């Protein structure tokens, strides 16, 4: 009798604990209840044993503080906002660590660019001085910290910090016409850089790019604000097949004040995707043809003479990276996909390949650099499987490879400048991020810096579904997949299926890493009676270049075929209702979900598309033409795979969402999709978020958006 009572009490206790668990809500997610603790951005000092952090303090002041890698203890405060009586938004340390640029005001322009108010702070004298009376762009110290270059009104300047003289290096810059020293919109977005100039190592020369935008069509966006009349943002945006800015490389000599254009001896359109100086003063430039399937690596002499050191070609496209390190003898390290996987190579100073350093049926996914003292290269790779990331080092001869991470999941590394230590960030689909300090020579842990055990405890009070990883055989490929099921899953019950994907070239959504906001939303839906699935189809990354580049000239063909086939195969399971299959995605994922409900109208009953491309003719040159060439050359590739041309196929429930101030995927995509659907006499739902960009956030925007999407799914699926 006593045993029976004990069992009954245990059952009642377990039952009460389950009842006490709450399902996750949209408000929980987007108010940050499950936000992970992360390390603040740090900057390693030259000694490799200390680093700097910009701290926001409890009294709302800011300070730039120095810490020991080994102990984690603060060793000094370099400067505080109280001391200089100005806010500190960001900072840049000079190479010799004698001075600092302090940013006190910032006005965002696009994704990576901003106007900034900048001060120069001398760490020895503790003197603060204004760089320039106004907001400037992309300031940077000369190598000896005696000068600061910056861009103002599309012209390149520098200030001599000893004489306080400000020198205007260019005078032909005009807004929306010609840019010097910073990139245009499409370079910033697609080649991922803004500062388009570099100091030579001796500080006597500045190499910079100019962009003649005269022939580039203008794009305008209404900004509604709260005033009686809306305003407009007007900027140059080259859409696929249209005129690009004409880019040129220039050299500015600080001693003579002379500006010289470098003759690259090219007679067709090109992009200059990167410029770099070697420590010995050799200027290099990575130049792509407009199709981006040919990359020429140039060596450029101080007098402006340019010669191609080597060329990399691909039948589809050549990816541009920052994986470049020069060695003392002028040779350099470089990554390439030329053997179908991204690996590290050593080239001599003349551009001849000396050896392939890494090899195998896996990809180098991050290149961290080279330590000349130990003669070892540090990198991240998929050697533990395409959904995982590990940290490794290898000798310059391609031997003695060492694994520096210890857990299977997603590991990333932040190395000290002299490669003494690295901070390892680890997470998996079951473990939130943990940060440890490790020795670079062997990966041994010195200390744990930060964990998210409090979040793990908090999640015990919530119902949240875990991802089950597997592969699914689709169209002759084993595609990576994860699935979430309700916690009270019954294999004999049928559930509606919601598929999520992004699917863009080289992307990955199926990874063994900790949950983002979308994952928690998916978990919420799972526990309200849905099975959630994500499949990375052909065209996604980390399964070789051939797998990734199969979608060339046909964006939206093979990816859509794979999602439709996966949905059909999943619909054959006894626990999934094949008549209630939905799909959603954002940006490229919205393009995909739109195509899926149209081309797969007998498979998908519901779709949500957030900020989608609906016609590849509306998107920018660099991204679109990299994968599609131009619409003039490939009209069928553009038209047959753009959702706007298939609206007559709509049968199911379709929700279309966009921000009106999206400078990336313009709301034009959704507006013209709406018109096409109306003229096809198709009923659908739609929402426009005024003055919101591609991320659609701010205030309660995300909560409103995801509640709307939740309600749509519950009603329609």
By CB atoms closer than 10 A (0-12, 13-18, 19+), residue 17 is exposed
Quick one: DSSP state of residue 541?
Answer: S
**What stretch of H or E contains 546?**
helix 545-548
Nearest residue to 392 via CA among 341, 416, 400, 447: 400
Quick one: DSSP state of residue 334?
Answer: E
Q: Which residues on neighbouring strands pair with residue 22, listed in sequence order?
A: 462
Quick one: DSSP state of residue 35?
Answer: P
- Confirm whether 660 is a catalytic residue: no
* Sign of the four-CA dihedral 276, 280, 281, 286: negative
Active-site residue (options: 343, 658, 666, 694): 694
Nearest residue to 153 via CA among 184, 187, 131, 178: 178
Nearest residue to 357 via CA among 323, 330, 387, 329: 323
Q: How far is CA 536 from CA 309, 384, 511, in A?
A: 37, 18, 10
- Please state the separation of Cα 454 from the chain's center in Å: 28
Nearest residue to 538 via CA among 475, 606, 628, 618: 475
Q: What is the rounded CA–CA span in Å between residue 475 and residue 241?
A: 32
Please check whether residue 380 is in contact with residue 389, taking contact to mean a CB–CB distance below 8 angstroms. Answer: yes
Q: Which residues on neighbouring strands pair with residue 669, listed in sequence order?
A: none
Active-site residue (options: 184, 323, 662, 663): 662
Residue with tokens 């009572």: 5
Q: What is the rounded CA–CA span in Å between residue 336 and residue 77?
A: 42
Residue 95 CA neighbour count, 13 Å, CB half: 14
Please check whether residue 67 is in contact with residue 50, taking contact to mean a CB–CB distance below 8 angstroms. Answer: yes
- Confirm whether 694 is a catalytic residue: yes
Q: How far is CA 492 from CA 185, 210, 524, in A?
A: 53, 65, 21
The three-state secondary structure class of 489 is coil
Residue 127's φ and ψ, nearest 5 degrees, are: -90, 140
In sequence order, the 6+-apart residues with CB closer than 8 A to the CB of 406 are: 443, 445
Nearest residue to 623 via CA among 571, 563, 664: 664
Q: What is the rounded CA–CA span in Å between residue 304 and residue 301?
A: 5
- Confirm whether 28 is a catalytic residue: no
Please check whether residue 663 is in contact with residue 694, taking contact to mean a CB–CB distance below 8 angstroms. Answer: yes
What is the CB neighbour count within 10 angstroms for residue 315? 9
Active-site residue (options: 381, 587, 593, 642): 587
Residue 369 CA neighbour count, 13 Å, CB half: 14
Residue 657's φ and ψ, nearest 5 degrees, are: -135, 140
What are the catalytic residues? 587, 662, 694
């Amino acid at each position: 009798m006593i045993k029976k009572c004990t069992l009954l009490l245990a059952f009642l206790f377990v039952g009460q604990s389950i009842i006490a668990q709450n399902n996750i809500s949209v408000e929980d997610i987007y108010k940050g209840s499950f936000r992970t603790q992360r390390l603040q951005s740090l900057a390693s000092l030259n000694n490799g044993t200390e680093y700097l952090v910009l701290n926001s303090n409890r009294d709302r002041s800011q300070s730039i503080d120095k810490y020991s890698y080994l102990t984690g203890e603060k060793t000094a405060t370099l400067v505080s906002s109280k001391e200089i009586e100005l806010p500190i938004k960001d900072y840049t340390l000079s190479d010799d660590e004698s001075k600092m640029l302090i940013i006190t005001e910032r006005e965002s322009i696009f994704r990576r660019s901003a106007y900034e108010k900048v001060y120069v702070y001398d760490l020895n004298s503790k003197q603060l001085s204004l760089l320039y009376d106004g907001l400037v762009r992309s300031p940077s110290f000369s190598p000896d910290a005696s000068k600061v270059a910056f861009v103002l009104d599309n012209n390149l300047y520098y200030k001599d910090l000893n004489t306080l003289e400000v020198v205007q290096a260019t005078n032909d810059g005009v807004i929306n016409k010609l840019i010097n020293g910073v990139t245009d919109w499409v370079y910033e977005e697609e080649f991922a850089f803004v500062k388009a100039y570099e100091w030579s190592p001796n500080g006597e020369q500045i190499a910079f790019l100019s962009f003649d935008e005269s022939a580039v069509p203008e794009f305008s966006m209404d900004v509604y604000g709260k005033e009686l009349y809306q305003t407009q943002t007007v900027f140059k945006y080259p859409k696929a097949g249209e005129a690009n800015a004409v880019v040129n490389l220039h050299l500015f000599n600080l001693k003579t004040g002379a500006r010289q254009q470098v003759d690259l001896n090219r007679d067709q359109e090109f992009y200059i995707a990167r410029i770099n100086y070697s420590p010995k003063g050799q200027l290099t430039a990575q130049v792509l043809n407009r199709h981006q399937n040919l990359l020429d690596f140039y060596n450029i002499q101080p007098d402006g003479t340019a010669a191609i050191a080597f060329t990399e070609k691909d039948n589809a496209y050549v990816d541009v990276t920052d994986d470049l390190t020069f060695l003392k003898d002028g040779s350099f390290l470089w990554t390439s996909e030329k053997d179908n996987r991204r690996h590290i190579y050593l080239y001599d100073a003349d551009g001849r390949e000396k050896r392939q350093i890494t090899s195998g049926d896996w990809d180098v996914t991050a290149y961290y650099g080279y330590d000349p003292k130990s003669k070892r290269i540090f990198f991240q790779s998929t050697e533990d499987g395409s959904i995982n990331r590990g940290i490794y080092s290898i000798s310059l001869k391609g031997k003695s490879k060492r694994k520096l991470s210890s857990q299977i999941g997603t590991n990333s590394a932040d190395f000290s400048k002299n490669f003494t230590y690295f901070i390892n960030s680890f997470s998996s689909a079951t473990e939130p991020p943990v940060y440890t300090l490790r020795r670079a020579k062997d990966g041994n842990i010195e200390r744990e810096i930060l964990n998210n055990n409090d979040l793990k405890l908090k999640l015990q009070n919530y119902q949240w579904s875990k991802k089950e990883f597997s592969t699914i055989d689709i169209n002759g490929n084993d595609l990576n997949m994860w699935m979430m099921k309700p916690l009270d899953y019954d294999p004999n019950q049928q559930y509606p299926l919601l598929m999520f994907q992004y699917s863009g070239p080289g992307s990955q959504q199926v990874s063994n890493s900790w949950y983002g906001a979308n994952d928690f939303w998916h978990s919420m839906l799972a526990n309200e009676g849905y099975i959630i699935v994500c499949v990375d189809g052909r065209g996604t990354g980390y399964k070789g270049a051939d797998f990734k580049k199969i979608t060339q000239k046909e964006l939206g063909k093979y990816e859509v075929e794979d999602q439709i086939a996966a949905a059909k195969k999943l619909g054959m399971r006894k626990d999934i209702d094949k008549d209630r299959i939905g799909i959603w995605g954002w940006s490229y994922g919205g393009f995909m979900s739109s195509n899926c409900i149209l081309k797969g109208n007998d498979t998908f009953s519901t779709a949500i598309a957030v900020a989608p491309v609906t016609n590849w003719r509306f998107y920018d040159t660099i991204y679109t033409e990299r994968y599609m060439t131009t619409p003039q050359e490939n009209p069928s590739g553009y038209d047959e795979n753009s959702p706007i041309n298939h609206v007559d196929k709509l049968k199911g429930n379709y929700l279309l969402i966009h921000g009106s101030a999206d400078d990336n995927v313009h709301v034009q995509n959704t507006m013209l999709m709406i018109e096409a659907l109306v003229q096809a006499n198709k009923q659908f739902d739609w929402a426009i978020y005024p003055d919101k960009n591609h991320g659609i956030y701010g205030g309660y925007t995300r909560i409103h958006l995801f509640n709307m999407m939740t309600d749509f799914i519950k009603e329609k699926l």
